[in-house]
């Protein structure tokens, strides 16, 4: 396999990363029981060997176990890779697995940064995202707190996750934002309305998470698929049996294009994202080496303007069924 994945720059910043990164959350959290740690360390290191230089984690994944995993796996590659992590959740003081609210107070941001540095075994956090916008803390105070950490050399770049256009502008005025991370894929295109034009104007990179629709766009999930009891997709309206049945049309579209291109539906879904803007870097999650290789293969797929028009025309006729988050989480998104 060619180890030279092309690089992309996140917006106007000097942060250059592999065109596809690796989302590490699912290795520890969210998709059923955590995977075997040794196997995941080996997978992360295989990604580096293949040219991946961008890895995504957060303190809340686990909590803490995912940052520890990523820190251990990448310790031999200091200076060669970019690790993004996140702050902004209030964790259960009794050590429970669930977050209990939001907390982006400056003193909390500092505390999270210090703890993340230790777990990741680094001197500076390459990219530090606010995980969700905290309505109780002005975004200017959040940006100011991260600016202070940047001045102290503890953080290199500031990011936002699931923030709306106005929040992005206000934060960027205080401390330039290097990247915004939000869900974006052929079956969740809301960022196209306001967020992407704002990022283009301000010179900010975009990092789509769930670029494969939490696995659905790979074509490996259908109406009969059952998930582990602690897989969060059980709570997602878009993953009810009826919704999956209705949403199969999107997978069928990807499969049709994939056949023409001698590719897989997942590769077409990722190639479509890469074709949208040169400053977009998707971070598909995986626990399997063969999926990693499949995802990275998307970089080599050239979608012509005709291909993109065909996808656009067909996709515009498909109405995706079901909300992307349960009601309880939806309140925390896109402000």
Residues with catalytic roles: 61
Instruction: For Cα atoms 194, 8, 186, give the angle at the middle one, nearest 5 degrees.
Output: 45
- Average pLDDT, 10 consecutive residues per value, the chain (335 residues): 78 96 94 92 98 97 96 97 97 81 97 98 98 97 98 98 97 98 95 98 97 93 91 91 92 95 97 98 97 97 95 93 78 55
212: Cβ–Cβ under 8 A, 6 or more apart, which residues? 185, 218, 266, 269, 270, 284, 295
Contact indicator for 180, 130 with CB cutoff of 8 Å: no
Q: How far is CA 16 from CA 50, 191, 243, in A?
A: 16, 22, 38
The pLDDT, as a whole number, for residue 110 is 98
- Its pTM stands at 0.95
In eight-state DSSP terms, residue 58 is: -
150 token code pair:
């940047």
The pLDDT, as a whole number, for residue 94 is 78
Residue pLDDT, tens place only, 137-153: 999 999 999 999 999 99
Q: What gap in Å lies between CA 81 and CA 83, rounded to an integer?
A: 7
150: Cβ–Cβ under 8 A, 6 or more apart, which residues? 156, 157, 158, 175
Reduced to 3 states (helix: H, G, I; strand: E, B; else coil), residue 63 is: coil
Instruction: For Cα atoms 308, 313, 315, give the angle at the middle one, nearest 5 degrees.
Output: 90
Instruction: Parse the chain into domains and list their residue ranges.
Output: 7-330
Q: Just give the CATH number of 7-330.
A: 3.20.20.100
123: Cβ–Cβ under 8 A, 6 or more apart, which residues? 117, 153
Residue pLDDT, tens place only, 178-212: 999 999 999 999 999 999 999 999 999 999 999 99
Contact indicator for 205, 195 with CB cutoff of 8 Å: no
């Amino acid at each position: 396999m060619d180890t030279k994945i092309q690089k992309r720059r996140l917006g106007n910043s000097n942060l250059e990363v592999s065109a596809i990164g690796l989302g590490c959350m699912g290795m520890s959290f969210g998709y059923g029981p955590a995977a075997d740690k040794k196997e995941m360390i080996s997978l992360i290191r295989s990604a580096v060997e293949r040219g991946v230089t961008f890895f995504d984690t957060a303190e809340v994944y686990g909590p803490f176990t995912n940052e520890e995993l990523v820190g251990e796996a990448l310790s031999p590659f200091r200076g060669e890779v970019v690790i993004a992590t996140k702050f902004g959740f209030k964790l259960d003081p009794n050590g429970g697995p669930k977050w209990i609210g939001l907390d982006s107070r400056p003193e909390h941001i500092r505390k999270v940064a210090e703890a993340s540095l230790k777990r990741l075994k680094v001197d500076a956090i390459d990219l530090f995202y606010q995980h969700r916008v905290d309505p109780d803390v002005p975004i200017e105070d959040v940006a100011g707190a991260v600016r202070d950490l940047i001045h102290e050399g503890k953080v290199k770049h500031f990011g936002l996750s699931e923030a709306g256009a106005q929040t992005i502008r206000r934060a960027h005025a205080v401390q330039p934002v290097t990247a915004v991370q939000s869900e974006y894929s052929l079956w969740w295109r809301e960022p196209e309305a306001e967020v992407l034009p704002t990022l283009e104007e301000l010179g900010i990179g975009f990092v789509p998470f769930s670029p494969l629709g939490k696995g659905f766009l790979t074509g490996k999930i259908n109406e009969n698929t059952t998930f582990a009891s602690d897989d969060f997709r059980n709570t997602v309206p878009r993953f009810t049996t009826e919704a999956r049945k209705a949403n199969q049309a999107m997978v069928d579209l990807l499969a049709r294009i994939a056949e023409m291109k001698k590719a897989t539906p997942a590769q077409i879904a990722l190639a479509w994202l890469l074709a949208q803007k040169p400053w977009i870097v998707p971070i598909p999650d995986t626990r399997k080496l063969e999926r990693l290789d499949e995802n990275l293969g998307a970089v080599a797929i050239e979608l012509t303007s005709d291909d993109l028009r065909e996808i656009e025309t067909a996709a515009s006729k498909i109405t995706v069924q079901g909300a992307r988050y349960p009601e309880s989480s939806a309140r925390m998104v896109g402000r």
